[in-house]
Structure 1
Amino acid sequence: MIDYYLSPNRNEPAAKAFLNKAIAQNGLPRKVVIDGSKSNYAAIDSMNVQLWLTGYFMLPLVEIDNIKYLNNIVEQSHLWVKQKTRQALGWKSMKGALASLYGREVWTMLKQEQIDVEGQTVFERFYALAV
């Protein structure tokens, strides 16, 4: 699973919020590939401790992979997010930033044919969503 979380801060509470969102949508992962951010490590360690204390000690803890090559592959798949967030400095609100990123994500899903509508071009599928 590859996901992103837009937050005004890049700290432990933001990392925890992202993990909670990802786990709610996809279930508990066995491994997580992250960059060198200390907030990500802290959030995953905190989650592992919380799992163990709440009685899930029978499950294996979430393993952290900090393999630069794997992280680069993950980062490349969402390069456009970084490009858009650089532009986000001009956005006046988080609502505007989210709307732009959601639209771009839908466009990417259409181009990669993750949303399948037979007999329509990518533009026709995108236009059908807009109207």
Structure 2
Amino acid sequence: MEEIMAERGVRVDHATLNRWVVKYSPIVAARAQSKKRPTLSSWRMDETYIRVRGKWVYLYRAVDKAGNTLDFMLSERRNRPAAARFFAKALSSNGIPSKIVIDKSGANAAGIREVNKILNRFGCPAKIQTVRSKYLNNLIEQDHRFIKRRVRHMCGFKSFRSASATLDGIEVANMIRKRQFPCNTSSGFRMFAEIAG
């Protein structure tokens, strides 16, 4: 981006570009969540590791049966409260699925049980079915590659906030690549411009 701007006679430092990413990526990601197409009711959920300040943190991600990105959340812990927080976030923007496929993680299963209890308290008769299978989760494991490919060259992040914001931007770019937005154009840049408003 720095080189593209320089070609047009605008000198922009890479640190400025990074500040723009940290400031505007969360805003664009929130708009993208509200503008994406409806998703299928069968979800695949998994977490992957990202390095922040020399420590491993967890990027929770969910895709539907067709591979469309549902939601994502960076967390410092991999436990029941973090999993429940992720599921609550995903449910609020995507509705209630009929089933969620997870790996053998006990934290994710406990998170789904907690969400089911909350739904039951609010009178929702539908219970989210949990399927624990590492083979059915291949779809999301393959989808992690896009994120890992982008993050590998960064040598880790210096702060949790910048990591979260940068990953927001990477995930939105991934959603644009998958054509998850109802747009009349095939240009990725035009799709981004429509999302960003």
TM-score range, shorter chain: 0.7 to 0.9
- Pick aligned residue for 1:67 from 118, 133, 136: 133
More contact order relative to length (CA 8 Å, sep ≥ 6) = 2
Structure richer in strand, relative to its length: 2
CA contact (8 A) 1:117 1:125 kept: no
Equivalent residues in 2 for 1:1-131, closer than 5 Å: 2=63, 3-52=71-120, 54=121, 56=123, 59-83=125-149, 90-115=156-181, 116=183, 118=185, 121-122=187-188, 124-125=189-190
Structure richer in helix, relative to its length: 1
Q: Scaled by the length of structure 2, what TM-score is found?
A: 0.53
Report how many aligned residue pairs link the two structures: 126
Counterpart Cα distance in 1 of 2:151 and 2:85? 19
Counterpart AA for 1:46:
E
Counterpart AA for 1:18:
F
Aligned CA-pair RMSD: 2.9
Q: Which runs of 5+ in 1 are unaligned?
A: none
Greater Cα offset, 88-97 or 65-74: 88-97
**1:127: how far off?**
8.1
Deviations 1:103-130 (A, max 9, x none): 2122223333334353x643x4488589
Deviations 1:43-76 (A, max 9, x none): 1112223333x252x6131110112222111221
Counterpart Cα distance in 2 of 1:10 and 1:89? 22
User: Residues 55 and 69 of structure 1: is their aligned pair in 2 closer, same or farther, counting only changes over 3 Å?
Assistant: same
